[in-house]
């Protein structure tokens, strides 16, 4: 099956949906999602969107907080761009009907309720109770599904980008012209041709054993962009959210930063607080500091978890501000209005990614990357809470402006080779995939987690190389499946994370090494940039000339 659209968007979260809605009046748009459209990270985001919306706040304060959290690697130009475009994007969401929480003030005037999270010096996080991502996702998707120029292709997973270089087409500059996509229902690979391709695929936290992310966070965009020839940056900076619910039956359930923002305290099993020993900001310190503090205490005392307590607030306050968390905890026999919540750190956000400019443009012509899969310089060495959804909105807006400005230019149409499955067979040993998947996530957690050493990284690189060889052989001989595609991508991203971590000979932000426990302040902090080796011969892919 062949499809042709003006714009192909791979990913249906806040970034992809926002972009689609901003360009659909001018062109045809295809949105590809791996499962139901609500299975991305946006849908599960609890906290909110950071933006300057109060007279007591300022752009300069938000910029200063973000730069401080970024530990010397956040780019001021990018941070300023994102912060200054924040309020207008919140207004755009309000116009679409996102039901943000409001406060009632004297005189009956209702304003947006703003909460405060780690790293912020002011209340500037707009939210919809504790299910902001769901409110945003539902609203954006409802509008997108009603638009005649937007077509959803659910249960489709991209295999690889199609470029003029891979197709051996006569083009001076390597250009993205579409993607090969596996239809998970038909089990066949389909060809999606497009004038512009946008990667909005999210992060790669599923590379770790414990994560707050949904199953689809497998680094697909980063891996496909790398194979196509894009450079990547700062993949050693993986944010571990300090507080995920610790319970044997609770899978990847996040306890929002806002719980600490509203007074929640981190406690040891004996009820003693500990965060002030690590940072004067206590529970409101940036996430990397809080996660390392919890990790330190768990290892020091041999604890399976620590506890987050907000029971000193009224039951009515907790139920109204955190209804989703409250309900979920009750399902596991935990009443957060009366007792502390057991929590552990878990992989949460990929701060590095595909290198882009302020319009989402990558190293390859007509290929864009927005949201968590991109590296814009906004987060630096550590993302500040609720700047992620801000990034999705702002860079979807800027990429949309760049694409629409180019739509009137004549577009060349290419003849694309079809996917060839004639020389592969169905595998009767899928246990290879499940075994390698488990091994990858375990050694990444053990060796490339919150605290690292040179020896651990060397062990991880050795195992990642062996896995890559085995998976590449499997990929070449057997018909591809969704699980194989994700494992192939995760293994590649794992290698890029390890390589990046090995290159940084210091501790900075989210990268902490016992061999280099201090930041190198002898020179200006620099990004860790990886570039694919130039390929003199055509990459081997399953296509017919």
Q: Which residues contact 24 (CB under 8 A, 6 or more apart)?
A: 144, 147, 149, 150
Answer yes or no: CATH 1.20.58.100 is held by domain 431-520: yes
According to CATH, the topology of domain 2-236+351-406 is: FAD/NAD(P)-binding domain (3.50.50)
Say if residues 205 and 212 touch (Cβ distance below 8 Å).
yes
Say if residues 230 and 222 touch (Cβ distance below 8 Å).
no
pLDDT, position 543 = 36
For residue 204, the Cα-to-chain-centroid distance in whole angstroms is 7
pLDDT, position 46 = 80
pLDDT, position 106 = 52
- Name the DSSP letter for residue 383: P
Comparing C-alpha atoms, which of 214, 178, 181, 219 is closest to residue 202?
A: 219
User: Where along the chain do its domains lie?
Assistant: 2-236+351-406, 240-347, 431-520
- Is 472 exposed, middle or buried, given 0-12, 13-18 or 19+ CB atoms closer than 10 A? middle
What CATH number does the domain located at 240-347 have?
3.90.700.10
Rounded to whole angstroms, how far apart are CA atoms 352 and 374? 7
pLDDT tens digit string along 453-472?
999 999 999 999 999 999 99
- Using only C-alpha atoms, the chain has a radius of gyration, in whole angstroms, of 23
Q: How many CA atoms lie within 13 A of 168 on its CB side?
A: 10
Backbone phi, then psi, for 413, in 5-degree steps?
A: -100, 135
Q: Are strands 232-233 and 2-10 parallel, antiparallel or unpaired?
A: unpaired
Per DSSP, the three-state class of 289 is helix
- Is 300 exposed, middle or buried, given 0-12, 13-18 or 19+ CB atoms closer than 10 A? exposed
- Name the DSSP letter for residue 278: T
pLDDT, position 270 = 96
Task: Give the sign of the dihedral formed by CA 397, CA 489, CA 164, CA 418.
Answer: negative
Comparing C-alpha atoms, which of 342, 345, 346 is closest to residue 247?
A: 342
Q: Which residues of the chain, if any, have pLDDT below 50?
A: 535-545
* pTM higher than 0.85: yes
Give the pair of three-digit tokens for residue 457: 């990284």
Is 287 designated active site? yes
pLDDT, position 107 = 61
Say if residues 245 and 183 touch (Cβ distance below 8 Å).
no
Among the listed residues 116, 265, 287, 463, the single catalytic one is: 287
Q: Which helix (H) or strand (E) holds 486?
A: helix 482-503
Question: From its phi and psi, is residue 119 left (phi > 0), alpha (psi between -120 and 50) or beta?
Answer: left
Say if residues 7 and 150 touch (Cβ distance below 8 Å).
no
pLDDT, position 177 = 97
Question: From its phi and psi, is residue 244 left (phi > 0), alpha (psi between -120 and 50) or beta?
Answer: beta
């Amino acid at each position: 099956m062949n499809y042709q659209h003006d714009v192909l968007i791979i990913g249906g979260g806040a970034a992809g949906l926002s972009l689609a809605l901003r360009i659909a009046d001018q062109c045809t748009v295809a949105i590809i999602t791996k499962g139901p459209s609500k299975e991305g990270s946006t849908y599960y985001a609890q906290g909110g969107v950071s933006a300057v919306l109060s007279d007591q706040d300022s752009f300069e304060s938000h910029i200063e907080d973000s730069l401080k959290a970024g530990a010397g690697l956040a780019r001021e130009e990018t941070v300023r761009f994102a912060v200054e475009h924040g309020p207008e994007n919140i207004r755009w969401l309000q116009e679409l009907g996102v039901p943000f929480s409001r406060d009632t003030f004297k005189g009956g005037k209702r304003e947006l309720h703003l909460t405060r999270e780690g790293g912020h010096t002011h209340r500037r996080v707009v939210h919809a109770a504790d299910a902001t991502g769901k409110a945003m996702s539902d609203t954006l998707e409802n509008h997108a599904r009603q638009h005649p120029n937007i077509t959803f292709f659910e249960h489709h997973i991209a295999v690889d980008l199609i470029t003029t270089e891979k197709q051996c087409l006569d083009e001076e500059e390597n250009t993205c012209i579409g993607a090969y996509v596996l239809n998970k229902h038909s089990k066949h690979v389909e060809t999606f041709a497009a004038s512009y391709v946008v990667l909005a695929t999210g992060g790669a936290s599923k590379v770790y054993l414990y994560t707050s992310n949904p199953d689809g966070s497998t680094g697909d965009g980063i891996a496909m962009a790398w194979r196509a020839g894009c450079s990547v940056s700062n993949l050693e900076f993986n944010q571990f959210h300090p507080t995920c619910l610790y319970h044997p039956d609770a899978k990847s359930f996040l306890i929002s930063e806002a719980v600490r923002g509203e007074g929640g305290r981190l406690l040891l099993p004996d009820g003693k607080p500990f965060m002030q020993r690590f940072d004067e900001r206590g529970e409101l310190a940036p996430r990397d500091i809080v996660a390392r503090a919890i990790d330190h205490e768990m290892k020091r005392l041999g604890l399976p978890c620590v506890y987050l307590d907000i029971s000193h607030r009224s039951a009515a306050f907790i139920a109204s501000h955190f209804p989703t968390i409250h309900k979920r905890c009750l399902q596991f026999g935990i009443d957060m209005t009366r007792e502390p919540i057991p929590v552990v750190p878990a992989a949460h956000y990929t701060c590095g990614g595909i290198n882009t400019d302020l319009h989402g443009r990558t190293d390859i012509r007509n290929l864009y990357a927005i949201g968590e899969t991109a590296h814009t310089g906004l987060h630096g060495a550590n993302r500040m809470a609720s700047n992620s959804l801000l990034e999705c909105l702002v860079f979807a807006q800027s990429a949309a402006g760049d694409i629409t400005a180019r739509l009137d230019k004549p577009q060349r149409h290419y003849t694309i080779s079809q996917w060839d499955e004639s020389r592969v067979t169905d595998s009767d040993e899928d246990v290879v995939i499940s075994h390698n998947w488990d091994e990858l996530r375990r050694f990444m957690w053990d060796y490339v987690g919150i605290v690292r050493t040179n020896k651990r990284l060397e062990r991880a690189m050795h195992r990642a190389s062996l896995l890559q060889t085995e998976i590449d052989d499997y990929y070449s001989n057997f018909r591809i499946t969704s699980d194989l595609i994700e494992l192939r991508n995760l293994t590649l991203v794992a290698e890029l994370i390890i390589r990046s971590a090995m290159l940084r000979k210091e501790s900075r932000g989210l990268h902490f090494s016992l061999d280099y426990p201090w930041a190198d302040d002898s020179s200006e902090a620099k990004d860790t940039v990886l570039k694919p080796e130039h390929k003199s011969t055509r990459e081997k892919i399953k296509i017919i000339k």
